[in-house]
Structure 1
Amino acid sequence: MKSRRWILLFGALGGLLYGVDQGVISGVLLFIENDIPLTSLMEGVVVSSLLLGAIIGSAGSGWLSDRIGRRKTIAIISILFIIGSIGSAVAPDALTLIIARIINGLGVGGSMAIIPVYLAELAPTPMRGKVTALYQLMLTTGILISYLSNHLLAPFEAWRWMLAVSTIPGVLMLGGIIFMPESPRWLLRQNQEIKAREVLGLLRKPNEIDNEVKAVKQIDRENNESVITILKSKWMRSTLIIGILIGVFQQIVGINAVIYYAPTIFTEAGMENTASTLGTMGIGLVNVLMTVAAIMTVDKLGRKKLLKIGSVAMSASLIVLSLILFTSGLNASTVWLTVIFLGIYVMSFAVSWGAVTWVIIPELFPLKARGAGMGIAIMGMSAANLIVTLVFPMLLDSIGIAWMFTIFATIAAMSFIFVSFFVPETKGRSLEDIEKDLRKSRIS
């Protein structure tokens, strides 16, 4: 079973792509002014250009993976990310940096759309939540690594080296995918049963293989539609809307505004640049540890319960944080309270929406359209992330951080209502059983 763990761990490496690039830009923003001066608008454009690429990458990679396979698509994603990371590090001006980050975003968007699908299709049903949540663990680990490198490089104001660190996860994933198997479910769709059984033999007990192959072939035989036909069907439309909204809510509760701009927030509160990057490392460590907690509980408590718990806790922590900032403002006397309640907010997000989103979205889509469906959902998520990231600096300047946290608290409360009424529980059910139930009726 050691081989199983290594396969699943390497399969999740794509999360490092997103995590490192997500976190590294927060340190870059502190020092880039020395070489490439940026207005608030251009700062937002530089940060969000990654997400523009992610929208395109997520949309295209889903369809591509359904055609050429998950494994080859991941290799292409890795190459794009490496090219974009190198281009960002050597960019002589803002335009070149933006273009390089768009290329980087193609890889990020592709990894967001394909890695969770790949993991869900590899994992045995009883531990599918735990395995798919490894993507978020890698993502948060990537953020923490970037925060650490930012802190070490901050005394030298070496923002180009901060960006250069982003090439490492791309190289690791490209090297790792050489040794990874193809998705057994994709192989069965291509009538490559012998190869599919070989892969399943690495990850299943011998008596489980026949039943799983039979279930996949049966549902494929019973539902002989094209991808387009599936996507246009009534039941799939409702599923797509729910999948998209799960991804959108994950972004608009404000987590990436905190990840991208935490050092800036701490600096405005009176911290030195080096101290602000150190404080941000603490936020990153909390993110990783609570993601581990999510991995340990998602298959026990279930997807829906964790999402609801997270919504309540995020809203409460942001409300308290807003009250502190409204009454005392952001200054040296409130900075550690700000750090504490930001930490509670990040904890709440990491144990729920951070990890569970990557688990539940690929579970909702049928085998034949899983790549395409996931791509559409992640495209919506990336678009929401783009909007939040682009407007956050301008809103921060115009209405202040207290009102921003109030808005995010309200959205977190809305996410609780959405989950309560519309999101199904998928814990402990095979992908084929979930598909059968969703085909019978619209989710309500």
Structure 2
Amino acid sequence: MTAPHRHTDGETDQRLEAPTPSRAPGADPRGDDGGGLTGAVVVVALVSAISGLLYGYDTGIISGALLQITDEFGIGSGWEQVIAASILAGAVIGALVCSRLSERRGRRMTLLVVATIFVIGSLAASLAPDPLTLSLARVVLGFAVGGATQTAPVYVAELAPTRYRGRLVLFFQIAIGVGILIATIVGATERVDWRVAIGAAVVPSALMLGLMLRLPDSPRWLVKAGRDEDAREALERVRPAGTDVSPELSEIDELVEAERTARTSGWRGLREPWVRPALVVGCGLAIFTQLSGIEMIVYYSPTILTDNGFSDSAALRVSVALGATYLITQLIGLAIIDRVGRRRLTLITLPGAALALIVLGTFFVTGNDGDAQVPYIIATLIAFMAFTAGGIQLMGWLTGSEIYPLATREAGAAAQSASLWGTNLLITLTLLTIIDTIGTGQTFWLYAAFNIAGFVFLYRRMPELTGRSLEQIENKLSKGQFRPADFADHR
């Protein structure tokens, strides 16, 4: 349904007011909340986890592989940056294209396309005869990565029972960390040829494709497409036998109708003055997630360390420690985020990340980067990874599903993803050049400054969303009350 919204200039507009049902969406009136987990829902979560693992693995494997690729192709830092960044260029395209493809052709068809491209891209990259072909193949892989991050969590959320939705969607986030850790372990062995390491992603890609062939499309998308009977059949396939899916289907109908009749919707809706504060916070958060420096460490830590006197073996072992830290602190962060709060956790951890980068920079600028200081350098790198992975890194994907009004949520999430991938691309294309120009230590200081700027931005603009329903967040936004102080009364 629609409700009048008054802009600050006195204009009256119509906007979507998200329904506030007396029970959670998808809940059965008898209180069983859509039923328990079924085998089909577990397979849906597994598909999402595989796509997250492929994201982590395909972006992380290049870290150790670059040492071999540089030797085989005889390339310098310019090509290294292009090879590392090419997957990110594809991810920007994939996030935007798959957002629209998901709306027009459905979540299932989009994920089938993504899985197929994962297979093709992995094979092409592993067989690349030169750096140009490898870069182009990684652009293809990046399209799949961007498409997966845009579509898989939505697909799970729209098929999972309400009571399990949050936990199943988090499989995607956790799987990213698992993928990064596996990639660093493979690289650290130094016995796995880079072509085999990159080509190994074909196996989970093919598994994802095979599993997707057995799954239904999203009931929500089917209702939007006017295929109500197909939506009923899809729900019945993923709910326990004998469950009455009519109440859940009815609520989907209500939400879809409200979205359909809203004037403030889609990409155009993001330009509305009352929606803009959410877009600024969401895209700003995505940008500072990358400017934190984590991609500098994930992609280039072996290269940075070997260029500064570390052996290949030592540098690769450090990468494994960083990958393990990433995964462990992500799990800790996910476990405590609802108790600590999104805003509070981010603001607590950002200063720690900045301080770690300042200390790292000081080691290199003052020349204290010899053998005696190696344990301290490694400890500081791990501390940086812990503060970043357990803090701001959790927010980049999470907020995209929370801060935007219902009718602009998919467009907002796509814009936020594109901001994240675009910033990542810029960093990866320029990092080694910056290091060559101003020095390793000074580059660490530069990224420490980005963390400080991120703290200031988020302190001033990011409200505490923890404990707020999506309807409450949208209501605050519609009233022009989207500053931190406007949410302070809740906690």
Instruction: Provide the TM-score with structure 2 as the length reference.
Output: 0.81
How far off is 1:43 after superposition?
1.2
297, 307, 323: which one pairs with 2:346?
307
Residues 267, 411 of structure 2: 8 Å contact kept: no
Match status 1:59 vs 2:79: no
- Greater mean alpha carbon deviation, residues 167-176 or residues 77-86: 167-176
Residues 294, 351 of structure 1: 8 Å contact kept: yes
Output the amino acid matched with 2:64. G
Name the CA distance, whole Å, in 2 between partners of 1:420 and 1:122.
Answer: 35
Name the CA distance, whole Å, in 1 between partners of 2:461 and 2:204.
Answer: 36
Closer, same or farther in 2 for the Cα pair 1:123/1:294, shift >3 Å? farther
Name the CA distance, whole Å, in 2 between partners of 1:29 and 1:230.
Answer: 43
Residues 65, 371 of structure 1: 8 Å contact kept: no
How far off is 1:146 after superposition?
0.9
374, 382, 404: which one pairs with 1:365?
404
Name the CA distance, whole Å, in 1 between partners of 2:224 and 2:264.
Answer: 13
Match status 1:21 vs 2:51: no
String of CA shifts for 1:305-326, please: whole Å, max 9, x gaps.
2222221221122222223333
String of CA shifts for 1:84-141, please: whole Å, max 9, x gaps.
1111111111111111111111111112222343345456677765544432211111
372, 381, 385: which one pairs with 2:420?
381
- Greater mean alpha carbon deviation, residues 17-26 or residues 354-363: 354-363
Instruction: Provide the TM-score with structure 1 as the length reference.
Output: 0.89
Residues 147, 284 of structure 1: 8 Å contact kept: yes
Name the CA distance, whole Å, in 1 between partners of 2:377 and 2:397.
Answer: 28
Name the CA distance, whole Å, in 2 between partners of 1:46 and 1:20.
Answer: 15
How far off is 1:301 after superposition?
2.5
Residues 220, 256 of structure 2: 8 Å contact kept: no
110, 124, 127: which one pairs with 1:87?
124
How far off is 1:398 after superposition?
2.0
How far off is 1:37 after superposition?
1.6
How far off is 1:160 after superposition?
1.2
Match status 1:155 vs 2:191: yes
Which 5+ residue runs of structure 1 have no aligned equivalent?
A: none
How far off is 1:217 after superposition?
4.6
Residues 308, 420 of structure 1: 8 Å contact kept: yes
Match status 1:177 vs 2:216: no
**SS, match of residue 101 in structure 1:** helix
Residues 244, 377 of structure 1: 8 Å contact kept: yes
Residues 122, 203 of structure 1: 8 Å contact kept: no
Aligned to 1:270: 309
73, 84, 101: which one pairs with 1:36?
73
Aligned to 2:180: 143
String of CA shifts for 1:168-213, please: whole Å, max 9, x gaps.
3422332333344433443443344565566667579989847854
Match status 1:50 vs 2:61: no
Name the CA distance, whole Å, in 2 between partners of 1:105 and 1:282.
Answer: 25
Q: How does 1:95-114 map to 2 (within 5 A)?
A: 95-114=132-151
**SS, match of residue 370 in structure 2:** coil
Residues 219, 432 of structure 1: 8 Å contact kept: no
Closer, same or farther in 2 for the Cα pair 1:110/1:7, shift >3 Å? closer
Closer, same or farther in 2 for the Cα pair 1:131/1:81, shift >3 Å? same
Say how many residue pairs are matched.
Answer: 442
Name the CA distance, whole Å, in 2 between partners of 1:403 and 1:213.
Answer: 53
Aligned to 2:436: 397
Output the amino acid matched with 2:386. M
**SS, match of residue 365 in structure 1:** coil
Max radius of gyration: which structure?
2
Residues 281, 462 of structure 2: 8 Å contact kept: yes
**SS, match of residue 270 in structure 2:** helix
String of CA shifts for 1:233-262, please: whole Å, max 9, x gaps.
223333223222111111111101100111
Output the amino acid matched with 1:165. A
User: Identity rate of aligned residues, in percent?
Assistant: 32
Which 5+ residue runs of structure 2 have no aligned equivalent?
A: 1-35, 484-491
Residues 66, 372 of structure 1: 8 Å contact kept: no
Output the amino acid matched with 1:273. D
Match status 1:134 vs 2:185: no
Name the CA distance, whole Å, in 1 between partners of 2:392 and 2:168.
Answer: 16
Closer, same or farther in 2 for the Cα pair 1:297/1:197, shift >3 Å? farther
**SS, match of residue 235 in structure 1:** coil
Greater helix percent: which structure?
A: 1
**SS, match of residue 232 in structure 1:** coil
Q: How does 1:210-221 map to 2 (within 5 A)?
A: 212-213=251-252, 216-217=255-256, 219-220=258-259
